[in-house]
Copies of this chain bind each other. A is one copy, B any other.
Amino acid sequence: MITIKDIAKVAGVSHTTVSRALNGSPLIKPDTRERIAKIASDMNYMPNYSAKNLVTRKSNTIGLFFSSIEQGTSSSFLADALKGIRKQLGNMYMLTVSGIDDSSSMDYIDPRRYDGILVMSQSEWDNRFIYHVQSAGIPLVVLNRQLEDPSICNVASDDRVGGKAAADYAFECGHRLVAMIEGKAGFKSSSERKLGYMDSLMAHGLTPNPTYFVQGDYSIESGYTAMNQLLDLQERPTAVFCGNDDMAIGAMNACFDRGVQIPNEISLIGFDDMTFASYTNPPLTTIHKSVSEIAEEGTRLLLERLQYPQTLPVQRLLGSTLVQRRSVSKLAEHR
């Protein structure tokens, strides 16, 4: 492996000059810079990053950490996030991916290994990790889950507004009996979406019906069983707001299996607008949330903080909007 000293020898200069030339120092005469660059490329030089990092105390690495890489994370989620991040990152930084629950991940958090960290968070369980990172002094952006703490840089989608939009739409379509299949207990997104639903309920002067709330866990299966529960009710809801698209798909299946027509007999609204939402039957009306946008914006923010460490942490909520498809019926008798 060839080093800057080898280049120095060939170029007849000191290795320091080579280092400077290759790093674009203004101290080097343009023509020697070019001469050295030429030699370096001819010799197929590649810098040794370990050595570089050792002395600069940088790592050229951004770490992406997931709530739980094993479970709970829907797959399009991870992929979208990755795409958004890589897009922003270019090839200035390496990107590592780990689950927060990777055995004792804490022990491996070290400012010398990560220039910055992105946390794709889903539940409050991640807080321990998040604060560990913060107290280690590593620049940090938390993605996807809304945080309270103003000292932490954060970008997420506005789940509450989205939840409200979903419920609003149901009510505007004339539905009065609208149930909700809730997301995973303990996940902030679950409670926010529910809160949004509640906001809408209140705004429309309606009172919540306890039997119309059933707990899910964001999985397709949970949507299926939850929907069956709803269908067993004496007074069936005419619309169901599902905490995410996966559960909506499970719910759809439950309906198909029991021969109840969507949207004629029952309407369905999802949340997330994943790729498949347009391809269910009928296409799913849902709340659009762009994970890749969140990831992209978060990465942009992180990069900014790396460049200007003084930048103040910001909390950003990306809008979530309703996309109308065909899983919701308009009720005629709505006054």
Question: Which residues of A come within 8 Å of B, CB atoms?
Answer: 1, 46, 48-51, 53-54, 59, 61, 69-70, 73, 75-80, 82-83, 86-87, 90-91, 94-99, 102-105, 107-108, 110-113, 220, 249-250, 252-253, 256, 275-276, 279, 281
Closest to A76 in B: B75
Q: Which chain B residues lie closer than 8 Å to A73 at the CB level?
A: 79
A59-B50, A110-B46 given; A99·B76 CB < 8 A: no
| Complex Cα gap A46–B107 (Å) | 8
B279 close to A112 (CB less than 8 A): no
Q: Which chain B residues lie closer than 8 Å to A105 at the CB level?
A: 91
Closest to A63 in B: B94
A98 close to B112 (CB less than 8 A): no
B99 close to A96 (CB less than 8 A): no
A54-B54, A75-B79 given; A98·B99 CB < 8 A: no
| Complex Cα gap A259–B80 (Å) | 33
Q: Which chain B residues lie closer than 8 Å to A90 at the CB level?
A: 102-103
Q: Which chain B residues lie closer than 8 Å to A59 at the CB level?
A: 50
Contact of A75 among B78, B98, B252 (CB under 8 A): B78
| Complex Cα gap A206–B253 (Å) | 37
Q: Which chain B residues lie closer than 8 Å to A1 at the CB level?
A: 111-112
